[in-house]
């Protein structure tokens, strides 16, 4: 694997982990249920920013996260096991 491919792969993994953070943050902190409290206090949360389509945004981030994990595993020539671990990471997120 060339140095450029390693750098691109690390960049992809970093962005994938940001997506995973957004999914985890919105689900684990119950951001969807706390919209009214966020409005009262004046917090600018992602749930408020996404509005009524928060669940669709979370789903999109999750799919992009799985795609990024799969692509980075494919680029690193890890094999098919990376796809199994990517699918298992969904259950860790939820």
- 14-26, pLDDT tens digit by residue? 888 888 887 777 6
What is the pTM for the complete model shown? 0.67
Per the structure, the complete domain to which residue 17 belongs is given by 3-93
Number of domains in the chain: 1
Numbers of helices and strands, H then E, in the chain: 5, 0
- Retrieve residue 93's tokens: 């997120």
Q: Are 85 and 66 in contact (CB under 8 A)?
A: no
Checking if the pLDDT of 2 tops 70, the result is yes
pLDDT at 31: 59
- 76-90, pLDDT tens digit by residue? 777 667 667 666 766
């Amino acid at each position: 694997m060339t140095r450029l491919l390693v750098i691109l792969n690390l960049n992809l993994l970093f962005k994938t982990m940001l997506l995973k953070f957004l999914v985890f943050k919105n689900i684990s902190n119950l951001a969807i249920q706390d919209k009214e409290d966020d409005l009262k206090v004046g917090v600018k949360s992602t749930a408020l920013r996404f509005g009524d389509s928060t669940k669709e945004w979370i789903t999109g981030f999750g799919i992009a996260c799985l795609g990024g994990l799969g692509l980075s595993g494919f680029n690193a020539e890890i094999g098919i096991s990376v796809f199994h671990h990517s699918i298992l990471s969904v259950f860790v997120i939820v």
